[in-house]
Structure 1
Amino acid sequence: MLWLLAHDQYPLLGRGGVAREVWALYFHWYGVLSHGSFPSGDHLWQYPPGAGAVLLSPALLPGLTYFQAFVTLTLFTDAVITLVLARAGTRPGRSLRGAALWTAGLPLLLHVPLARYDVQVTAFAVISLLTVSRRPRVGGAFAALGALVKVWPALALLGTPRGRGTREAWTAAVVTAVTLLALLVALFRNPLDFLRQQGGRGVQIESLGGTALMLARRAGWPGHTRYQYGAVEFVGPHVHAVADCSLGLTVVAFALLLLWRLRARRWTPATPYDAALAAVLLFTVTSRVISPQYMVWLIGLTAVCMTSRHTTQRWVAPLVLAASAVSTVEYPALYGDVINCTWLGCVLMVVRNGLLASAAVVSFVLLWRSGRPAPERPESDASPRNPDRIPAVFHTGG
């Protein structure tokens, strides 16, 4: 991955576009943040204020350039995730498959993970999930830290079983978020300007709605693509309707997850992991934007699921890995075909987004089924002579 990043001027590696995100855009924001202000009026700045801390972190390594320091810290974070997954996999009832999946799965995205800060965001979610059952307050705090950087890690707390532990986790998350947000408001100017820029996002060409518009363009739709809000988006008739449809599907996804939470009566040690993966998959496929680096989140959450022998998400893992591999072909290798909506670009996006949509559906269905009460078993099946027949789950009331 480092070699690819050092040679990203090659056409199939993006002609320098992948690394440019760090040494040009991130470094520009670093300069603004260093003067005590979040980017104001910058339509490319669409991130919660916690992202500012991540972009300022290369200052911790003053002997390196900004680009070198950023990549070094990203590699260090990658190592931390691997260590946490490996340590979790050595506990009773756990598996090292999670650490193996992360180690083998991340390079499927080539050098993109090293030139984005999504590895850092994923670290917060991974640590939160792997600690919340034993130390709810710590897990809640890490979920809040991640949410302040890129919102979605808050979903790590979705599947915690009802009871004192969940209350402690959510209380710690709220306290941590409010405290740090107040600190950022006190130290920096314009910390909430990102909300105005986020609302202007359209339909990115790599999203599910973008795939529909790509096919429509091949059929004669008069729209075209344009670089805006930090991504290549569609412009033309009915684009707003497609964006509204994506938002509607996101609301439906949220409603389904809430319904699962209310109706679930059966939890296993892996339920918090499975719920987080299902939730992020649903929100990803219904989003107006599906950038290639989003796959880092899904690989990380899938790896967490695979650390538990009780996970229901084994069939989801190959779908996520396949989607990651196709994402690499789509970006950076053949991004020009996607932008120009060639037939090759259309096929790539149909396959990648089809895999993601399939993963989301399979993941949620498996999560839903796992929440049903276990069927009654004959008393003899749960006798000391058959200890392996006792399910490793616990039930909760209404």
Structure 2
Amino acid sequence: METKGAGRSLAWLLATWGVTRLVLLLFVFQVWIFPGGLDVTSDVSVTYRGWYEVLRHGTFPLDDVTWQYPPAAALPILAPAVLPFLSYAHAFFILAFLADAVVLHLLLYPAGRPGRSPRGAWVWVAGVPLLGPTVYARYDVMVTAVAVAALLAGVRHPRVMGALTAFGALLKVWPALLLVGVVRRRAWAAAAVTAAGLTTVFTVAMPGAFAFLTFQRSRGTEVESLGALVFHVARHFGWHGQVLLNYGSLEFLGPHVDQVSTVALALTGAAFGWLLLWRLRAVRRTPHTLADAAFTAVLLFTVTSRVISPQYLVWLVGLAAVCLSYRASRMGAPALMVVVASFVTVLEFPLGFGHVVASDRYGVLLMLVRNGLLVAASLTAGRELWRATVGPAPAAPLPPQPTRPRQTPVSS
């Protein structure tokens, strides 16, 4: 009976994945037009395609300040060349779809082992489509596939995890945070060797491999970030600033923006300090600690970032899915918050982005709810990670002691 029930559950999961992913493909192929009026695929058909033309000639886009990615990001941008019979954009969407399928396979593969659960696969199946077609119109789903593979390999194959983590970090930096909970030297050594090797190859082969570092330095406060809420509210009280396209995204420019950006950087530093303290104090580690720590770290750095773009939620959904693939993980509540935040995210981009840019009441409400959910998820994840790993383990209840039957005195 259990096998039959498990088979039925798997069939429902695969059917749900197939239907939702077909809908996403119909949207990005523009067979159906997604509501809201914004074409989320233009990043692929215009920006990525422009970078592709530069990259295929053996150099990075040095004159484009919107190129803010580490050198291995060239690989997903160039990847559509493997499907020459399709247009650039259509090939990219198919590759993003395949990366999505890889994540599902990685989550399902260990689901039948002791201590594992299909909950993680359901988080991925349900969470991704809530973000809308943006998921397939950015290369973040490909980076997430690498990160999920790294975390799932971490317990049994630390060297593989280290190598994949280094590769992921050279795709989009944030996977470096997967190493927060790693204690095995083999993983760190593999990460260092892989990072050094790939960095050398890119530096020698293509000029400008690390130009993105100078471009990132000049970023401001993007309209969807936590810090932007200050200016969304301040606009209703006479703040005289602007929302302009700056370094590839819509950012607030005007009085006190620099100070808010500085506070965001300070909060990122505080998050790093807390993670360092946790690492020094943690005394209990279980197979799911790696995933729980990585999820918490990426949550903290996402929330404190000067930019919280919609595609960032893809990372969080993927890491939450890995956490919940372990039955003993205590990340259920923050994972649910991330899934709900994904739905609110599609309401603000692309559906309500005009309201967000205008800072009207609806736009401010969307940002308060979405970013509030992410803050709550970060704090909850941090609390659960601390409780599960720091300090003495909770005492097991004592077994009941046998009691002697009460003797009734016999009167003479």
Structure 1-normalised TM-score? 0.92
TM-superposed CA distance for 1:11, in Å, is: 7.1
Q: Aligned equivalents of 2:153 and 2:93: distance in 1?
A: 27
Partner of 1:74: 96
Structure 2 residue 139 is matched with structure 1 residue 121: no
Question: Paired residue for 1:38, among 60, 70, 73?
Answer: 60
Q: Deviations over 1:355-376 (max 9, x none)?
A: 0001001010111111122134
Q: Output the amino acid matched with 2:116.
A: R
Q: Output the amino acid matched with 2:347.
A: V
Q: Aligned equivalents of 1:332 and 1:232: distance in 2?
A: 13
Going from structure 1 to structure 2, the CA distance change for 1:378 and 1:208 (only over 3 Å counts) comes to closer
Partner of 2:17: none
Structure 2 residue 24 is matched with structure 1 residue 5: no
Partner of 2:351: 333
Partner of 1:255: 273
8 A contact 2:27–2:34 mirrored in 1: no
Spell out the pairing of 1:133-282 with structure 2 (5 A cutoff): 133-160=155-182, 162=183, 166-282=184-300
Q: Aligned equivalents of 2:213 and 2:350: distance in 1?
A: 29
TM-superposed CA distance for 1:310, in Å, is: 1.3
Partner of 1:394: none
Q: Aligned equivalents of 1:257 and 1:212: distance in 2?
A: 26
Q: Deviations over 1:237-285 (max 9, x none)?
A: 0000000000000000000000000000111211111101100000000
Structure 1, unaligned stretches of length 5 or more?
A: 382-398
Q: What SS is found at the alignment partner of 1:349?
A: helix
Partner of 1:375: 394
Partner of 2:9: none
Q: Output the amino acid matched with 1:116.
A: R
Identical positions, percent = 48
Q: Aligned equivalents of 1:280 and 1:304: distance in 2?
A: 13
Q: Aligned equivalents of 1:181 and 1:278: distance in 2?
A: 27
- Bigger radius of gyration: 2
RMSD (CA atoms): 1.4
Q: Output the amino acid matched with 1:43.
A: V
Q: Output the amino acid matched with 2:269.
A: V
Partner of 1:85: 107
Q: Aligned equivalents of 2:186 and 2:158: distance in 1?
A: 6
Going from structure 1 to structure 2, the CA distance change for 1:345 and 1:379 (only over 3 Å counts) comes to closer
Q: Deviations over 1:28-80 (max 9, x none)?
A: 00000001100113110000001011111111111111111111111111111
Q: Aligned equivalents of 2:214 and 2:145: distance in 1?
A: 27
Q: What SS is found at the alignment partner of 2:252?
A: strand
TM-superposed CA distance for 1:312, in Å, is: 1.3
Q: Output the amino acid matched with 2:27.
A: L
Q: Output the amino acid matched with 1:3.
A: L
Q: What SS is found at the alignment partner of 1:233?
A: strand
Q: Deviations over 1:175-230 (max 9, x none)?
A: 00110110111111111110110001000000000112101111211111001111
Partner of 1:392: none
Q: What SS is found at the alignment partner of 1:232?
A: strand
Question: Paired residue for 1:349, among 346, 349, 367?
Answer: 367
Q: What SS is found at the alignment partner of 1:110?
A: helix
TM-superposed CA distance for 1:12, in Å, is: 2.5
Q: Output the amino acid matched with 1:74.
A: A
Q: What SS is found at the alignment partner of 2:234?
A: helix
Structure 2, unaligned stretches of length 5 or more?
A: 1-23, 401-412
Partner of 1:395: none
Question: Paired residue for 2:336, among 318, 321, 345?
Answer: 318
Q: Output the amino acid matched with 2:186.
A: E
TM-superposed CA distance for 1:14, in Å, is: 3.9
Q: Output the amino acid matched with 1:2.
A: L
Structure 2-normalised TM-score? 0.89
TM-superposed CA distance for 1:25, in Å, is: 0.3
Question: Paired residue for 1:300, among 299, 318, 321?
Answer: 318
Q: Output the amino acid matched with 1:271.
A: T
Q: Output the amino acid matched with 1:298.
A: L
Q: Deviations over 1:91-128 (max 9, x none)?
A: 11100111111011100011011000000010111000
Q: Aligned equivalents of 1:311 and 1:331: distance in 2?
A: 31
Q: Deviations over 1:332-381 (max 9, x none)?
A: 00101111111110111011000000100101011111112213447869
TM-superposed CA distance for 1:308, in Å, is: 0.1
Q: Output the amino acid matched with 2:102.
A: V
Question: Paired residue for 2:73, among 38, 42, 51?
Answer: 51
Structure 2 residue 83 is matched with structure 1 residue 61: yes
8 A contact 2:26–2:32 mirrored in 1: no
8 A contact 1:41–1:193 mirrored in 2: no
8 A contact 1:94–1:307 mirrored in 2: yes
TM-superposed CA distance for 1:5, in Å, is: 1.7
Partner of 2:307: 289
Q: Aligned equivalents of 1:175 and 1:328: distance in 2?
A: 39
